[in-house]
């Protein structure tokens, strides 16, 4: 069975046929993604072989012409954290066009948040970009606090900065290890995950979890840092500069690494800005945009650190920017430990914040507040707000709308992986297929954030 669009007949699988039928039913043209899907889906292996033979015959009949070949890359993990499909149109070994197809990891977290209380939704947003859960909940809790007009204690703000920078470091470690592994540098993967495992131990100390940590709460942090945490983190920070030197000794001047990354995935700063790209991909093109500097939050204005930038905007510069950011995160964490304020780690508002556990044994009022918050949640005044933080991949934003009830009326996250992924098509056009994996990896997309 074949289906025809604009006079072309080709075999279709169910997905491709449904795309054409939906477009015909709605009286519209196919979208670029639908067209790409429809054109590459072969209904059977035999029909695919027939189509290949027809294409070869056409090439023989028209000397000097070559029909493009479609390669379906994915859906799998080609340099991505999560499931991504890339429909790639090839002219020989050169990429003529590429269409990312997303949605394979879709969780509907934003809509789930609208059916949970403000307090319960924190657990959900950690699971979007699961490599940087603290940044997800940092943006969400700041947005809720802004609607509430809640003042956060200084110690809680500094603890948020401390844990966020440790999370930035672990995220970059995963990126560096996996990107190196993609190009055959296996040793770097082992080294970076050695340090990441030590950092996850620290997360476990403060939250009881190694990943998807619910440590930030509306009003501050769930608990103060436990005994021994400062000493263990200090030892970790003492080791990290030498560890980063170790990574660079393996890669920065490595001729194979340079050949595979320099000049790959180049895109001018103007085009990146037009697409809304943020984070290391934008800074690697020479734009020193960092929300921690341009729009300081949670006390970042008290810390001394540099914004790492590049000059060429290629995969190599994106590597250098992230390595330098790891060094800057170590500097910020060291300043946090040296100047951590005393005082409470969460706001004292029993209408919003759970009472201390110790009070539940003797205070009926504390027990009532605890029961009401856990079972019904708290209400938030009507209004809308957008708050953003500088995540490992760029601007992580949270847009919340409240109708005055105990649940968000609207919750939408601006995930940098989703926005930055659109640059892939422009970066990859005209490059070799062998360089595509490098380009994808240099953007560091996490599909949990794209398909939230």
pLDDT digits (tens, 9 = 90+) for 80-111: 778 888 888 888 888 888 888 888 888 889 99
Measured CA to CA, the distance from residue 119 to residue 135 in angstroms comes to 17
- pLDDT grade for 1, boundaries at 50, 70 and 90: very low
If one counts every other C-beta atom within 10 angstroms of the C-beta of residue 404, the result is 10
pLDDT at residue 6 above 50?
A: no
Question: Containing H/E element for 220?
Answer: strand 220-221
Q: Full-prediction pTM beyond 0.75?
A: yes
If one counts every other C-beta atom within 10 angstroms of the C-beta of residue 25, the result is 8
Lookup: tokens for 91: 């002219």
pLDDT digits (tens, 9 = 90+) for 180-209: 998 888 999 999 999 999 999 999 999 888
- Report strand pairing: 394-402 vs 383-391: antiparallel
Distances (CA, A) of 423 to 6, 277, 441: 30, 8, 13
Measured CA to CA, the distance from residue 396 to residue 301 in angstroms comes to 19
Lookup: tokens for 59: 């090439």
pLDDT digits (tens, 9 = 90+) for 357-402: 888 888 888 888 888 888 888 899 999 999 999 999 999 999 999 9
Region 429-436: what's the mean pLDDT?
90
Domains and CATH numbers, the chain: 1-67 (no CATH), 109-450 (1.10.645.10)
């Amino acid at each position: 069975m074949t289906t025809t669009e604009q006079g072309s007949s080709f075999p279709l699988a169910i997905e491709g046929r449904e795309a054409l039928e939906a477009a015909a039913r709605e009286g519209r043209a196919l979208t670029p993604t639908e067209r790409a899907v429809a054109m590459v889906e072969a209904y059977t292996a035999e029909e695919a072989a027939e189509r290949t033979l027809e294409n070869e015959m056409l090439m023989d009949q028209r000397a000097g012409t070559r029909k493009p070949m479609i390669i379906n890359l994915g859906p799998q993990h080609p340099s991505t954290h999560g499931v991504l499909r890339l429909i790639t149109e090839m002219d020989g070994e050169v990429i003529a066009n590429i269409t990312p197809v997303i949605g394979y990891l879709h969780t509907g977290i934003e809509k789930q948040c609208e059916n949970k209380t403000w307090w319960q939704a924190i657990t959900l947003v950690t699971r979007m970009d699961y490599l940087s859960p603290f940044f997800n909940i940092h943006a969400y809790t700041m947005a809720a606090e802004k609607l509430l007009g809640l003042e956060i204690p200084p110690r809680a703000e500094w603890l948020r900065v401390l844990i966020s920078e440790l999370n930035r470091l672990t995220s970059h470690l995963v990126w560096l290890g996996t990107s190196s592994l993609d190009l055959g540098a296996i040793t770097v993967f082992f080294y970076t995950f050695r340090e990441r495992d030590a950092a996850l131990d620290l997360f476990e100390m403060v939250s009881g979890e190694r990943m998807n940590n619910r440590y930030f709460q509306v009003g501050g942090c769930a608990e103060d840092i436990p005994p021994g945490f400062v000493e263990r983190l200090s030892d970790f920070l003492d080791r990290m500069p030498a560890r980063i030197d170790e990574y660079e000794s393996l890669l920065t001047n490595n001729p194979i690494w340079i050949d595979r990354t320099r000049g790959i995935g180049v895109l001018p700063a103007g085009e990146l800005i037009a697409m809304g790209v943020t984070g290391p991909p934008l800074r690697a093109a020479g734009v020193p945009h960092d929300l921690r500097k341009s729009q300081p939050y949670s006390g970042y204005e008290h810390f001394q650190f540099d914004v790492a930038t590049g000059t060429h905007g290629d995969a190599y510069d994106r590597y250098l920017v992230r390595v330098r950011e790891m060094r800057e995160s170590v500097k910020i964490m060291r300043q946090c430990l040296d100047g951590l304020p005393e005082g409470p780690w969460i706001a004292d508002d029993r209408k919003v914040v759970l009472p201390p556990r110790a009070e539940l044994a003797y205070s009926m009022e504390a027990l009532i507040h605890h029961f009401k918050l856990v079972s019904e949640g708290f209400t938030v005044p009507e209004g809308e707000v957008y708050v953003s933080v500088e995540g490992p991949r760029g601007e992580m934003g949270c847009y919340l709308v409240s109708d005055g009830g105990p649940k968000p009326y609207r919750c939408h996250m601006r995930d940098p992986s989703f926005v930055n992924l659109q640059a892939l098509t422009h970066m990859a056009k005209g490059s070799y297929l062998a360089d595509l994996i490098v380009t994808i990896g240099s953007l560091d997309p996490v599909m949990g954030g794209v398909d939230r």
